[in-house]
Amino acid sequence: MFGHLKRTEKLIDAIVQRAAFVALAGMIAVITLQIVSRVFFNAVSWSEELARYLLVWTSFLGAAMAWQRGRHIAVDFVVNALPGPLRLAVKALAIVVAIGFFALIIFYGLRFMQMQSFQVSASLRIPIRYVFSIIPVCALLMLYYSLLDLAELFSASARREAEAIEAGTRAGEAP
């Protein structure tokens, strides 16, 4: 079961990485164009707006990648000091809270997109909902990664429990 989910996770991760790279490279190119055009020619009017939108996309895609890798800031010395079952419960609770948070971001992100559905950007004239669509998309990604983490946490816990029971049975057996 987890083999298929892990392959899907790797595929999604590869897509997110490439999208983040394209957004970051695009932002660098647009800012470079803005600097060069401002110094040598007339300033390009749309470059600041596009760079800002690419920064939003890069930030959210980076947040999703960091969440998938467990790279967000965490203070876990108290959790790590807890005994095994309690540590597992606290980690599971943290993941469940994160899932709820991401679900709220998805809900309100979609509502925000609906509210912005008739607005277009000043210079580029693109619908603002396209710019802010990254919010619910990345929240959905982080929710998916959290569900995988929760499933993995419980499957790893169940595996350890089964191994401990099996080891205890073997230890109690006569040679």
CA angle 7, 13, 14 (to 5 degrees): 90
| pLDDT above 60 (res 162) | no
User: Given the structure tokens 């205890």, which residue do they identify?
Assistant: 168
Residue 120, SS3 per DSSP: strand
Number of residues that make up the chain: 175
Q: How far apart, in whole angstroms, are the C-alpha atoms of residue 77 and residue 6?
A: 28
Question: What is the predicted pLDDT for the residue at 158?
Answer: 64
pLDDT category of residue 77 using cuts at 50, 70 and 90: confident
Region for 70 from its dihedrals, namely left if φ exceeds 0, alpha if ψ lies in -120 to 50, beta otherwise? left
pLDDT category of residue 175 using cuts at 50, 70 and 90: very low
Q: Answer whether 54's CB lies under 8 Å from 23's CB.
A: yes
Q: How far apart, in whole angstroms, are the C-alpha atoms of residue 16 and residue 102?
A: 17
Amino acid 137 reads V
Give domain limits for the chain.
Answer: 2-172
Residue pLDDT, tens place only, 89-144:
999 999 999 999 999 999 999 999 999 889 999 999 999 999 999 999 999 999 99
**Hey, how many other C-beta atoms are within 10 angstroms of the C-beta on 22?**
14
Residue pLDDT, tens place only, 79-103:
888 888 898 999 999 999 999 999 9
Q: How far apart, in whole angstroms, are the C-alpha atoms of residue 74 and residue 91?
A: 12
**Average pLDDT score over the chain:** 89
Q: How far apart, in whole angstroms, are the C-alpha atoms of residue 26 and residue 33?
A: 10
| pLDDT above 80 (res 34) | yes
Report the candidate in 54, 66, 51 with the shortest Cα–Cα distance to residue 13: 66
Helix 134-172 to helix 84-115 angle (10° resolution) is 160
**Global pTM value:** 0.83
